[in-house]
Structure 1
Amino acid sequence: MNRKLRTGFYAFATATILTLGGCSEPSKVKDECCQSKTKAFTEDWESLKKVNDEPKWFKDAKFGIYTHWGPASQAFINMAPKEYMGGWHGMLMYGKEGIPNWKTGKIATGKDGIPKPTSNYLHHTEQFGDPVANPEKYGYKSLIKSFKTTGFDAKEWADLFEKSGAKFAGPVAMHHDNFAMWNSKATRWNSMNYGGKDISGELKKEIEARGMKFIGSFHHAFTWKYFAPAHVYGGDQIKEEDYDLYTEPHGYDSQMPTDRFHEEWWAKLKEYIDVYQPDVIWFDWWLENMKEEYRQKFMAYYYNKANEWGKEVAICFKESTFPDETAIRDYERGRPNQTKPDYWLTDTSPGTWFYRSNAKFVDANELVDILVDIVAKNGNMLLNVPPDPDGTIPQVMKDLLLEMGAWLKVNGDAIYGTRPWACFGEGPTRLPSGGHKIERKKIRYTEKDIRFTKKSDTEFFAIVMDTPKKDIVIKTLSTDIAVLPVAIEKVELVGSQEEIKWKRTSKGLEIKAPSKYPTDYGHAFRIICEGYKEANIGGDLEQDL
């Protein structure tokens, strides 16, 4: 179904659900085995809008992992317990006299009106040397030259990702720093030349061996802005031979990269597609500022290659990079506050994006709550794992992933392969608004908060977000409300053999608290309901009426 028609269809489908109790998902009817039944895609949006941009396997997967790791990880060593540093170290490390805001051009000043050095500049200078006084010796490329991969073990990583319950995983293939986490021929700045390992190649082999799909993420559109300070403050000390890393000289006011930048951006991306055949390519922002023709070239090439490979792939994006009909929208550290008809993705992290010696992490309960809320609203979670500078995954991160995996092993039937139910949930805890960065507002779900997912027209789940202290009442399922106008036949607690006692009244579905819950939080009740039925009225009944 053309997505332009889907908004109206979704409103109709929702009304039908509320009237009939069905849970049919609005979806495009497309071939499951390839991106399109049409001929090869051409480099224009009208052609690309014909793609099946939401593969079934991706919508079934629900949970994936990617890893922010690279030369920048070294920058955050030896931080004081409460020391703050900005995440864009390659940009901020040159701020001896502050760095202008990349949007407004304003520089933060002290009360005296004098620009202050950035915390990244001060920390980098203390740990490594002054990148402004000597950018050749202490600039960003010095971090690349000292990059170590001695703690990286692809088998150990993939084992952990599998145990976490993730269904797709892979590296941040290239972050803003223009460094390739693969054995690249398109750039000399890569993990084979500096680190001695093909990170992407080793991970792909191990991840796919465990039945997971492979993702690579690309953030190098923003490189144009990211390395502007290296030129502004490094001046002619940035050698021309290093423009393939730092880009060509330009200032903060440069909004459109050069042709050389576009060509190098595309060469790296094309190489990755050809060599590693990723199932998912995920883009960070600012790509929308690049030339449209390059975005179209990438998309047509990748989708056509997927057809050659005989598999479906997914593209994830932010902002206005691509039309919604062509790819899957991503919300950074955020999500909608309602169910969306088009499938979407959240990328988030349990702590900071890259390693920090003073990092703090959320607990597994919070991550599971976020995952449940995402899935109930028709989305996937992409969770970041930040390894140590040498590639070792810290124990706190291992524990988080294993705890998530343990929860999913019990409750996965209520997550994997599900679709949104008639409404996403009930309870007092709601996001004030939907969109990017809303996780800045700390939300803690309670036993009064319930989320719904659907397995089929006669089977759905009510996930109670925290452990109830007494009996449960699901108000949405009241006999007085037409959300579910068919009879409930059975209620089960997923992961438990205990018989659940329940009754459905005008108050709602009243569930007697079980003697024991199988997990410490996030409890899924399977609800089996009677299918929708209509009287079969035929001519043979006429004589009785």
Structure 2
Amino acid sequence: MKKAACIIYFLFISFLTFAQTYQPPTDTKVVAKLSQWGDKKFGLFMHWGIYSIPGIVESWSINSEDASWIPRDSTRNYEEYKKWYFDLNKQFNPVKFDPTIWASYAKKAGMQYVVFTTKHHDGFAMFDTKQGEYKVTNAAVPFSSNPKANIVKEVFSAFRNEGFMIGAYFSKPDWHSEYYWWPRYATPDRNNNYDIRLHPQRWRQFKQYTYNQIEELMSDYGSVDILWLDGGWVRPKATVNEEVLSWGAPIPAWDQDIDMPSIAKMARAKQPGLIMVDRTVHGEYENYQTPEQKIPEKPLNYPWETCMTMGDAWGYVPNDNYKSTNTLIHLLVDIVAKGGNFLLDVGPKPDGTFPDVVLQRLTEIGQWMDINKEAIYATEPIAPYKTANVCFTKSKNESSYALYLIDEKAELAPTILLKSVPKMPKRISLLGVKSVLKWKRVGNDLEIVLPKDAKGLKDALVFKME
């Protein structure tokens, strides 16, 4: 219990600290795009790379930190394991890759923006970078001869054609780069493995390498709306705070500053209005926060997005434990009722397809969204936000919605109670049915008799209150 209490306290302090240090953007184009993104509410996140071939945790197994969530083949010594992992590029051949199918299913699900991993910590570029040879278009990669080999270009184009906002995930650390993990030394943890104070030129080379790769993404891949930067330990040392210390990773004695002002200036010159997400580095270049695998208890007073996996893993893992459609819809409703966006992650298979269960979940979420999307898109939180199993949202035309979360294991009662509604309505309708509702006020609550044609509705009932 003490441990749980400490965790809750720490999360509270973390959110409070961020609220105090959040810097709203001043660029009017960024402000406008951030508002546009905030209305989208639901996005698709994808982790895909060489780690999908054996179906293991993305990148982290080549990091020699000892943690239960970093599984590694104990029959190989560390250097042998790293070589095996890095050589997985020679097996990458997703012959069924067709991002138009991904985009089609995501659109049917009601998603409106995408964030795709252009490069994870292992350094394998899913685009045709000119800064090195560890990339999907290198001749050593079987897929390099495929017309769709420049995967990032294909993904961005397919989703852009479906009207999605485009987000580029990019890892600041690069464990394959000799300018980050210098082969001269061992690689004991996630940080760069040499003293930057003693070798400033090598770090300058890494900064230039990083700048150049981001410049390629901002220049050669069409319009990009979000630059989503991961690897928050690569940061100015002065910004290290209690949140960073809680990760339990070693903190080097030197700065790992990659010069975000220069990157942002260049990126926004190429992509005016670009949303910058230098996640966990609170300040000017974190235009919205990204709680990972969790939802805040209450609405936050700044833009935010929960990023969460559909299964247990970020990338593809065979026999993953996927959340039910009911759970996913409830998560979406809870997040939106608190003013956030939901970035739902899936991992494509090695052949370039989504697992069947992912397609099923996206289809079923889409069926619910087709009926109830007006209570999700372009809405705002309204007190009391959530009471028991009822969440509330408000549209910009002042209609409010009560979203009644249905327990997938319980039978829906013929009469339900909406507690503590924000404002007593004059009219109430149930989205998805044509019947006129019978309802009455009971104190500050509403008692509603469900019509017979409501029995076909699943996961969450949405009452429009006018």
TM-score by length of 2: 0.78
2:458 pairs with 1:523:
no
* Alignment-derived partner of residue 274 in structure 2: 313
Q: Write out aligned runs for 1:373-392 (5 A).
A: 373-392=334-353
Report the CA distance between 1:165 and its aligned residue: 1.1
Q: Which stretches in structure 1 are left out of the alignment for 5+ residues? A: 1-6, 11-27, 38-50, 77-84, 93-98, 102-106, 109-117, 228-241, 428-448, 478-482, 529-545
Aligned-residue offset at 1:289: 2.6
> Aligned partners of 2:232 and 2:25: how far apart in 1?
32
Secondary structure of 1:462 counterpart: strand
Alpha-carbon distance in structure 2 between the residues aligned to 1:287 and 1:58: 26
* Cα distance between partner residues in 2 of 1:374 and 1:271: 34
1:17-416 aligned at under 5 Å gives the runs: 35-36=27-28, 52=31, 55-76=34-55, 87-91=58-62, 99-101=64-66, 119-122=71-74, 132-133=79-80, 138-193=83-138, 194=141, 195-196=143-144, 197-219=149-171, 221-224=172-175, 243=178, 247-250=182-185, 251-252=187-188, 258-276=203-221, 277-289=223-235, 291-292=256-257, 294-307=259-272, 312-319=273-280, 321-323=281-283, 327-351=287-311, 352-416=313-377
Q: Which has the larger radius of gyration?
A: 1
CA contact 2:119–2:170 (8 Å) conserved in 1: yes
The residue matched to 1:139 in structure 2 has which SS? helix
What residue in structure 1 maps to residue 445 of structure 2? Answer: 508
Instruction: Decide whether aligned partners of structure 1 residues 89 and 344 sit closer, same or farther in structure 2, where only a CA change above 3 A counts.
Output: closer
Counterparts in 2 of 1:170 and 1:338: CA distance versus 1, 3 Å: closer
2: CA distance, partners of 1:459 / 1:70: 44
What displacement does 1:73 show?
0.9
Q: 1:188 to 1:401 in 2, by over 3 A?
A: same
The CA deviation at 1:246 is 5.4
Query: What secondary structure, in the 3-state scheme, does the structure 2 residue paired with 1:329 have?
Result: coil
1:506 Cα deviation from its structure 2 partner: 0.8
Report the Cα offset of residue 131 of structure 1. 6.4
SS at match of 1:64: strand
Q: CA deviation at 1:313?
A: 3.1
Asked if the contact 2:347–2:354 (Cα under 8 Å) also holds between the matched residues in 1, the reply is yes
- Aligned partners of 1:164 and 1:401 also within 8 Å: yes
SS, match of residue 411 in structure 1: helix
Q: Distance in 1 between matches of 2:78 and 2:91?
A: 15
Residues 421 and 452, structure 1, Cα contact 8 Å, conserved in 2:
yes
What residue in structure 2 maps to residue 434 of structure 1? none
Contact 1:318 1:331 (8 Å CA) reproduced = no
Query: How far apart are 1:314 and its partner, in Å?
Result: 2.1
Q: Is the 8 A contact 2:61 2:71 kept in 1?
A: no
Identity %: 24
CA contact (8 A) 2:173 2:234 kept: no
Alignment RMSD, CA only? 2.9
Give CA deviations for 1:13-44 in whole Å, capped at 9, x if unaligned. xxxxxxxxxxxxxxx898xxxx427xxxxxxx
Change (3 A) 1:247 1:386: farther
**Would you say the 8 A contact 2:260–2:285 is kept in 1?**
no
Structure 2 unmatched ranges of 5 or more? 1-15, 197-202, 237-255
CA contact (8 A) 1:475 1:508 kept: yes
CA distance in 2, matches of 1:328, 1:203: 24
332-341 or 138-147, which deviates more: 138-147
Correspondence for 2:433: 496
How far 1:325 moved relative to its partner?
Answer: 7.8
Cα deviation for residue 516 of structure 1 reads 3.0
- How far, CA to CA, are the matches of 1:520 and 1:209 in structure 2? 31
- Report if aligned partners of 1:62, 1:375 keep a CA contact under 8 Å in 2: yes
Secondary structure at the counterpart of residue 381 of structure 1:
strand
